[in-house]
Amino acid sequence: MLDYAWFIFLTPIIFAPISALAGWKGKNIAGILASISIFISLALSFLLFLSIRNQSAAIYQSYNWFANINAGIYVDHLAIVMALMVSFVSLMIHLFALYYMKEDPRKNIYFGETALFTGGMLGLVLSSNLLEFFTFWELVGVCSYLLVGFWFFKPNAASAAKKAFIVTRVGDLLFIIGLAILYSSLNASGVNDPLSIPYLITNAGSVANAIGSQNLTIVALLLLGGAAGKSAQFPLHVWIPDAMEGPTTVSALIHAATMVTAGVYLIARVLPIYATSIFASDTVLFIGAFTAVFAGTIGIAVNDLKRILAYSTISQIGYMMAALGMVSVIGQSAVGLSLYHLVVHAVFKALLFMVAAVVLLVLMDLRDVKQMGGLWRKMPITMTLFFIGSITLAAIPPTAAFFSKDTIIDASYQYYLANGQGIQFLLPWIMLLLGAFTTGLYTFRMFFLVALGKPRSKLAEEAKDPPLIVLVPLMILAALSLGLGLIQYRFYDFLTPSAEIISVPTLPTYLPLIMVGIAFVIIASIYGTGLWKKMDLSKSRLYRLVKSKYYLDAIYTRGIAERVILPLSSGFSRTEDGFSRSVEKTGGGAMAFGGLLRRIQSGVVEYYFVFLVISIGIIMILLEIMGGI
């Protein structure tokens, strides 16, 4: 008997083709069906949450898939939190998309794909086996590809979809190699069902003994590679900004709230493995912290509204990663820190993206923030929501992100303290602090340019609020952005019983807020006064470096893709040409030979007998020689 938890992810998957078919010829029913299916998922998740709220044992149900791989569901507190978040945010975005995609002729396909995506994401969250996890991981990757390229007739969208797919593929390759190593070494040491998540997380110590801690470190690093690809961490972050070419609701759903956090979830899921290796967990921490500041600096120089949000997503995921990397100091409490920020981020980033969707809809897809301005007066309700989203992103109290993000920064200070105050251990804290500073910079810059000042284009002058009803999902999210801070410690305790309480000296605690304050002052003096119009940064080398995204994209496309991969592939294709020509030649030879053989078939019976006798004679001789005693 299937537990009803299965239907959390099965319902949207089943509904996906139904809604795509039912909405044929652009009927509205597609979106409604998809939303209903996700509502069912949300309701089931909530029921499940109520039933396992007070128990520490997880729900585990699995069936043999093949060989010694059992696939099924494994729902513990971590999974249920993630499932609630995914289904809730997805429902909000679906409801909003009913309005946003109203005019699109292929919206049935859109809703089919987003429902499939949500099902895949929920399946990933509830997987009981890493291989099953990987399968769903690929499913959401495919959905992301399809949805980014949803407006495939735009050349940008088509190439962005390809880029997203290829870059994440690099990560996926690392992931599957890691799984293969883990499987083969555990299988060799006689473990039954080696890739099962419950086994791995309850027996991390014996796994390390069985396969050697060095191998386990390699596995952990490879999994981190997969997570970095999916969650857009340095150096595989380059795909997210381009992925903004898709519909904005897709960016909200996939590239802000859910799929990009799959990498974080993966590491949180198997965190006990990282706990066995200081090197692996420190790598997670440093990559996360570095990404947080690195992406933040690019965010300051970007003018495309959606791309600012994209870089901020990369930067915020860096915080979640960094929180997980501190497992060596704060143990499993790291999961609570990371997931709390993940949930909060999903809520406010979905809100910001949907606000961006409204703005872009009103401004006819004009994305340059320098052409906006003054929107607060034109569309006050939307911009109020934008304001709430922005202060949450900047982590100003009492918004939820203040509690979630600053706790992570505090924890990194504790990391420094716990490691004997060596200067290299202060580095994560410094990077995260600078990350908070850059967050303040790009957030306020974005807000000043979009909402304040005077309208700088005709479209911006004519902007006005959409119907209030479509903003309801956004309002719910805004309320949550403000209110989620209330449950901070309960959340930590729900994920990790008796979670460690982060306590650091007073000054480091207030420093992030001070940083944001400085950022506000800087931005207000430049963008609040119109000074920015007179500044010419194009001569500054630093600005050009940041503006060109540290030349990483250029290195990938021009250096690696054009210099290495393309010549390699054309070389291969030439070899293959030669090969296929030789196959053709062989084919011709075979045909000629066959024709010769058919000549034996002359139709004259007498010849047949002669042929028969001769060949039987030959076979007898061969047999005598080969089988000879």
Partner 1 sequence: MFGILFTNQIQVMYPEIFLGLVAFGMLLLGRSVKNPRVYTAITMASLFIALFLLLTFDSGNETLFGGSYLINNFGLYFAVIMIISSLYVTFSAGATLKSNPESFFSIFLLVNVSMMVAAFSNNLIYIFIAFEGVSIGTYIMSAYGKTRRNLEASAKYFFTGIIATGFILFGSSFYYLSTGTFNLLSVNVSRGPMLVALIMLFVGFGFKLALVPLQQWAVDAYDGTANPVSAFLSTGTKVLAFLIILRVFIEGFRNFSTDVFYLFVIVSIITMTYGNMAALSENNVKRMLAYSSIAQAGYLILVVAATSASTTSAFVFTVAMFTAMYYSLVYIFMKGGAFLSVSAVRKDNVEIDDMAGIGTISPAFAISFSILMLSLAGIPPTAGFFAKYYLFLALIGSNLWWLAVIGILNSAISVFYYLKIIVVMFRKDVDGKDFNTSRAVIAPLVLAAALSLILSLFIFAYPQISAMATGLGVSI
Q: Is 629 in the site for partner 1 (CB under 8 A)?
A: yes
In the complex, what is the shortest distance from the CB of residue 623 to partner 1, in angstroms, rounded to a whole number?
6
Out of 202, 206, 209, 601, point to the residue binding partner 1 (CB under 8 A). 601
Residue at token pair 């500044």: 535
Instruction: CB nearer to partner 1: give 212 or 594.
Output: 594
Q: Of 567-596, which residues contact partner 1 (CB under 8 A)?
A: 587, 590-595
For 10, residues 6+ apart whose C-beta sits below 8 A from its C-beta are 119
Segment contacting partner 1 by CB under 8 A, of 144-152, 162-170, 308-316, 609-617: 609-617
Segment contacting partner 1 by CB under 8 A, of 168-176, 496-504, 557-565, 611-619: 611-619
93, 253 Cβ separation under 8 angstroms? yes
Q: What CA–CA distance (Å, rounded) separates 247 from 25?
A: 20
In the complex, what is the shortest distance from the CB of residue 627 to partner 1, in angstroms, rounded to a whole number?
4
Residue 583: phi and psi, rounded to 5, are -65, -40
Instruction: CB nearer to partner 1: give 521 or 591.
Output: 591
In the complex, what is the shortest distance from the CB of residue 585 to partner 1, in angstroms, rounded to a whole number?
14
Instruction: CB nearer to partner 1: give 25 or 598.
Output: 598
Beta bridge partners of 69: 66
Instruction: CB nearer to partner 1: give 518 or 620.
Output: 620
**463-466, long-range: CB within 8 Å, 24+ apart, which pairs?**
463/359, 463/362, 463/363, 463/375, 463/378, 463/379, 464/362, 464/378, 464/379, 465/379, 465/380, 465/381, 465/382, 466/99, 466/358, 466/361, 466/362, 466/379, 466/382
Segment contacting partner 1 by CB under 8 A, of 26-34, 122-130, 366-374, 606-614: 606-614
For 421, residues 6+ apart whose C-beta sits below 8 A from its C-beta are none
Amino acid symbol at 618: I
In the complex, what is the shortest distance from the CB of residue 64 to partner 1, in angstroms, rounded to a whole number?
15
Segment contacting partner 1 by CB under 8 A, of 355-363, 369-377, 436-444, 617-625: 617-625
In the complex, what is the shortest distance from the CB of residue 63 to partner 1, in angstroms, rounded to a whole number?
17
CB neighbours of residue 56 within 10 Å? 8
Query: What is the chain's Cα-based Rg?
Result: 29
Q: Is 611 in the site for partner 1 (CB under 8 A)?
A: yes
In the complex, what is the shortest distance from the CB of residue 582 to partner 1, in angstroms, rounded to a whole number?
14
Out of 25, 539, 541, 598, point to the residue binding partner 1 (CB under 8 A). 598
Q: What CA–CA distance (Å, rounded) separates 23 from 403?
A: 43
**Spatial CA neighbour of 323 closest among 334, 312, 331:** 334
- Look up residue 70 and give its two tokens: 């059992």
Instruction: CB nearer to partner 1: give 212 or 588.
Output: 588
Segment contacting partner 1 by CB under 8 A, of 94-102, 187-195, 286-294, 614-622: 614-622
Q: What CA–CA distance (Å, rounded) separates 311 from 549?
A: 10
Q: Is 622 in the site for partner 1 (CB under 8 A)?
A: yes
- Look up residue 464 and give its two tokens: 């006005």
Q: Is 609 in the site for partner 1 (CB under 8 A)?
A: yes
Q: Is 615 in the site for partner 1 (CB under 8 A)?
A: yes
Q: How far is CA 604 from CA 36, 593, 594, 597, 607, in A?
A: 76, 21, 19, 15, 6
In the complex, what is the shortest distance from the CB of residue 600 to partner 1, in angstroms, rounded to a whole number?
7
Task: Count interface residues toward partner 1 (CB under 8 A).
Answer: 27
Instruction: CB nearer to partner 1: give 26 or 588.
Output: 588
In the complex, what is the shortest distance from the CB of residue 61 to partner 1, in angstroms, rounded to a whole number?
24
Q: Is 600 in the site for partner 1 (CB under 8 A)?
A: yes
In the complex, what is the shortest distance from the CB of residue 584 to partner 1, in angstroms, rounded to a whole number?
11
Q: Of 28-47, which residues contact partner 1 (CB under 8 A)?
A: none
In the complex, what is the shortest distance from the CB of residue 620 to partner 1, in angstroms, rounded to a whole number?
6
Q: Of 89-148, which residues contact partner 1 (CB under 8 A)?
A: none
Q: Is 627 in the site for partner 1 (CB under 8 A)?
A: yes
Q: Is 624 in the site for partner 1 (CB under 8 A)?
A: yes
In the complex, what is the shortest distance from the CB of residue 364 to partner 1, in angstroms, rounded to a whole number?
47
Burial of 501 (0-12, 13-18, 19+ CB in 10 A): exposed
Q: Is 619 in the site for partner 1 (CB under 8 A)?
A: yes
- Look up residue 2 and give its two tokens: 């299937």
Residue at token pair 């992103």: 393
Q: How far is CA 239 from CA 227, 262, 310, 467, in A?
A: 14, 15, 10, 34
Q: What CA–CA distance (Å, rounded) separates 441 from 435?
A: 10
In the complex, what is the shortest distance from the CB of residue 180 to partner 1, in angstroms, rounded to a whole number?
23
Q: What CA–CA distance (Å, rounded) separates 370 from 10?
A: 44
Out of 188, 521, 537, 620, point to the residue binding partner 1 (CB under 8 A). 620
Q: What CA–CA distance (Å, rounded) separates 264 from 149?
A: 25
Residues near partner 1 (CB under 8 A) are 587, 590-595, 597-598, 600-601, 603, 605, 608-609, 611-612, 615-616, 619-620, 622-624, 626-627, 629
